[in-house]
């Protein structure tokens, strides 16, 4: 069965969605930990009560912390819409191979985006990863809308 009519582990497409959704959620959560690691390691914090407890200082413009925070924010802006539209798209009964490739592609682009962002890989690497992921989300959204007409 190729759609989301069967929301059980018996539906290979649903299992694929669960796998990539879990990977993306884990990746997003780990970005919070990466921000905390940078803050604690440099003893710079966003709130006075946090700085006081660890003998740090309040600083909102550290380039390393802000780079991780921007990567995390970009995940939140892109992964959340994907996690919402993907099951809706799957409910339209798309081709299973195409849907699987779109889910894999989106997950790969988000991992690549973070890698190039955090490792300061020159553009257009980050921009390309962003655009491919965004394109996948837009494609799924348009296909979902078309299926409802």
Rg of the chain (C-alpha set) = 19
Q: Report domain 12-148's class.
A: mainly alpha
- Give the whole-angstrom CA distance, residue 7 versus residue 10: 8
pLDDT tens digits, 41-55: 888 888 888 888 778
User: What 3-state DSSP class applies to 43?
Assistant: coil
Mean pLDDT, residues 103-108: 98
Say what the pTM is.
0.90
Residue 89 has a CB neighbour count (10 Å cut-off) of: 27
* Domain residue extents for the chain: 12-148
Instruction: Please name which of 106, 102, 147 lies closest in space to residue 130, comparing C-alpha atoms.
Output: 106
Q: What pLDDT band is residue 136 in, cutting at 50, 70 and 90?
A: very high
């Amino acid at each position: 069965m190729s759609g989301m009519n069967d929301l059980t582990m018996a539906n290979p497409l649903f299992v694929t969605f669960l796998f990539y959704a879990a990977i993306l959620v884990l990746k997003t959560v780990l970005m919070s930990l990466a921000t905390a690691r940078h803050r604690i390691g440099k003893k710079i914090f966003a709130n006075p009560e946090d700085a006081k407890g660890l003998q740090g200082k309040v600083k909102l413009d550290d380039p390393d912390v802000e780079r991780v925070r921007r990567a995390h924010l970009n995940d939140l802006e892109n992964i959340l819409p994907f996690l919402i539209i993907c099951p809706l798209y799957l409910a339209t009964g798309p081709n299973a191979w195409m849907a699987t490739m779109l889910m894999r592609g989106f997950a790969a682009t988000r991992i690549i985006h973070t890698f190039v962002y955090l490792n300061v890989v020159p553009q257009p690497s980050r921009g390309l990863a962003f655009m491919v992921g965004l394109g996948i989300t837009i494609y799924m959204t348009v296909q979902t809308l078309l299926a409802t007409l």
